[in-house]
Amino acid sequence: MGKIKLFLLLSFLFLPFQVRALERTATACLNELELVRGAMADSLPVFFADIPLVSQTGVRLKALTENKANWLMENSLTKMLLEQGYYTVRPSEETNSAVPSSPKYTLSYRIADLKFEYRHPRGSIFKKKFIRRRMRLDCFFSLSEPQSSVIIWSKWMHIQWEDLVPAGGEEALKNDIFSQRTVLQDKSRWLEILVVVGVISSMAYTLF
């Protein structure tokens, strides 16, 4: 019976390490550029499922504001539209005679918010090997016809992505085109310590 009690107590003591092992297995260490590109590729087809486009027509892409990530959105939109059977005209291609000059639609976009948040846990009795990273993207889209100024479709897109990255290695994952970052310290880790210590103390008192 004494061995069983000791085994149960040790199981609780090593539980935090088991949880962190599971987190390590589930972690994909993408850099910021790869993460945003992947999030766009996954979200855009779903987001544009209800857009009223006539098949096999042209779409002119237009950025409403300057943003360092406009090229990334433009590439993602072009890839998605081409896969769905449309042809696209980028601003840089409008003077190219080989590109059709009269697309039926204009798809405008404005990246309102694109930022990363890194949360560093603090106050834990265990050394933290991973930190939480969150990416947030808010973008406005509108669809119109060049012949008129009437907007026939508009929508806000919100993407939020969260994962774990190695602590101390986050600098290597950053990209210069994403300038909005917030670094936070998680003060709630002290509560976790009190809960773990309380559970272990209760088990030790009950078993012994």
Per-residue model confidence as pLDDT tens digits over 111-158:
999 999 998 776 555 556 888 899 999 999 999 988 777 899 999 999
User: Does 121 or 109 have the greater pLDDT score?
Assistant: 109
Q: What is the pLDDT of residues 158-191, one digit of tens each?
A: 999 998 888 877 788 888 888 777 777 655 555 5
Put simply, whether the predicted model's pTM sits higher than 0.85 gets the answer no
Which residues form the domain of 197?
Answer: 2-207
DSSP characters over 191-208: HHHHHHHHHHHHHHHHH-
Domain tally, the chain: 1
Of how many residues is the chain composed?
208
Query: How far, in Å, CA of 200 to CA of 85, rounded?
Result: 61
| pLDDT above 70: percentage of residues in the chain | 67
